[in-house]
Chain A
């Protein structure tokens, strides 16, 4: 909060410096303008992905750790996720404009985590659709989520404000021009996870349900439900899987990878709690070698200990009178 306040103060002061001293004042800027350099990659017919980093939110990547995307239909452009900041959303929209002159028809937001929707401001003139649970989650936690992003990535967030999705959606199959999209409502990774399967191209945007080469995040997770979500993905007939975090792949290998991680994580923490370990000790449990290829492994594991341990402990410690 303090940094935001300082930023508000700093901006008029910079302007004042420019006005009084001319171009020399611009030298006070230590770096050039921040830019994500978003470049869409075509992954299927009419379908593009902006591939992000597999790291955590940092001041170096500005929060660009997601794979947002868009589908150019005959009835306009469908946007999937709006990114971690207003700046990202605006850059993304400009990059889409360079691919097609068609208007944005609709935006979909898959869950309440910051990188999915903090770019919503760039799409205020079009419907922004999300599951009711996602909208409720952003209403409740959005301000805290935005504040934390300012803390984590700093100036990239400038001007970003909580902007709620405008249209609740449910499980359905919808046609946009020549593309038929199946909206699949699930819960497990968060309390409301929206997957979008383009039945026309076979591209599945999994949102946070599948991670690929990147350690899954669990701040709103219920592991048992998440495993059921993965079973759901296994039942789908798809040609390309676009996870929100990690690598785009033509197979379902990362469904198994996500399942393997979650199963190990839950089992290891339960075993540790049942064997007398404290939560602080659990932070240092060894992680099996087979997960060494997952990015931000130890860091994300430790976050998961914070998310999952208290409930496991509450469940396993016996009540005494």
Chain B
């Protein structure tokens, strides 16, 4: 009963002006059997066609060891023409983790997320035809990853370090794709702890510095469930002649994040394995 009301409520609040899309596909039952799927679907995909598709690979542990930082990789490189990706944890107080706009980059990202309880964790990729391709897995967890206070606050000088960036770019492989890894110091506070306002990074954009301008390579719209001191792994495509990458971001209190990531030194090796490298599955 409560479930039905909730779904109805969410349908009632769908944003107007959702663009018309291709012929509706029949609603498929959630292979993960999550009680929140219908609500999540209505809230984040609206009337767009949704298919469950293993071409989207989701890597996460079956059990969360640290519910404040559960590793999650979503890889849609098996699909052509991916324009947007989502990560969702159904039973979080705020299910949507982030939206990834891969631009010219490979449609794959990895990060760490908070989970409030055992939940379905999903990756979704929207292809140019407007279809959302969704897959995921169940992650078992003890409670509380979203409502735990950030560890940062225990350090007196935490505020002096907010926005500091660690990052490394590996050389591109023959396909022009280069591994980028970034860690940003930020409490990424969900605001669920009494009396402490939400304080989290909302946007991150990666651009290339070139003689002809600074084209955007990828953009992330991130939300509360991304872990404290967020970490991102992206596979970007630096244009020829790029002299550096530029990370620019902003948190929900107007704080700016800005860093210049140098190109890899001469002689450096490309990353050992990328998210779409089949070798990753050895030893399973």
Chain A interface residue count, CB cutoff 8 Å, equals 35
Q: A276 near B271 (CB under 8 angstroms)?
A: yes
The complex places the Cα of A147 from the Cα of B67 at a distance, in Å, of 14
Q: Which of B23-31, B38-46, B209-217, B257-265 contacts A (4 or more CB under 8 A)?
A: B257-265
Q: How many B residues are at the interface, by size bracket?
A: 35 or more
The complex places the Cα of A287 from the Cα of B284 at a distance, in Å, of 9
Residues of B within 8 Å of A302, CB to CB, are 61, 65
- Interfacial residues of chain B within 64-120, with CB under 8 A of chain A in the complex: 64-66, 69, 71-73, 110, 112
The complex places the Cα of A1 from the Cα of B269 at a distance, in Å, of 49
The complex places the Cα of A317 from the Cα of B181 at a distance, in Å, of 8
Q: Which residue of A275, A286, A309, A314 contacts B283 across the interface (Cβ within 8 Å)?
A: A286
Q: A320 near B233 (CB under 8 angstroms)?
A: no
Q: Which of B11-19, B160-168, B194-202 contacts A (4 or more CB under 8 A)?
A: B160-168
Q: Using a Cβ cutoff of 8 Å, how many contacts connect chains A and B?
A: 104
The complex places the Cα of A286 from the Cα of B280 at a distance, in Å, of 8
Residues of A within 8 Å of B275, CB to CB, are 278, 281
A148 at the interface (CB under 8 A from B): yes
Residues of B within 8 Å of A279, CB to CB, are 71, 110, 112, 231
The complex places the Cα of A298 from the Cα of B71 at a distance, in Å, of 16
Q: B165 near A320 (CB under 8 angstroms)?
A: yes
- Interfacial residues of chain A within 268-321, with CB under 8 A of chain B in the complex: 271-272, 275-287, 298, 302-303, 305-307, 309-310, 313-314, 317-321
CB-CB under 8 A for A318 and B72, given A284-B283, A285-B283, A286-B282: no
The complex places the Cα of A151 from the Cα of B140 at a distance, in Å, of 11
Q: Please, could you name 5 A-B residue pairs with CB atoms under 8 Å apart, sorted by A?
A: A280-B60, A280-B110, A281-B73, A319-B164, A319-B166
Interface residues of B (CB under 8 A from A): 59-61, 64-66, 69, 71-73, 110, 112, 142-143, 164-168, 170, 179, 181-183, 231, 233, 259-262, 269-275, 280-284
Interface residues of A (CB under 8 A from B): 1, 147-148, 151, 219, 271-272, 275-287, 298, 302-303, 305-307, 309-310, 313-314, 317-321
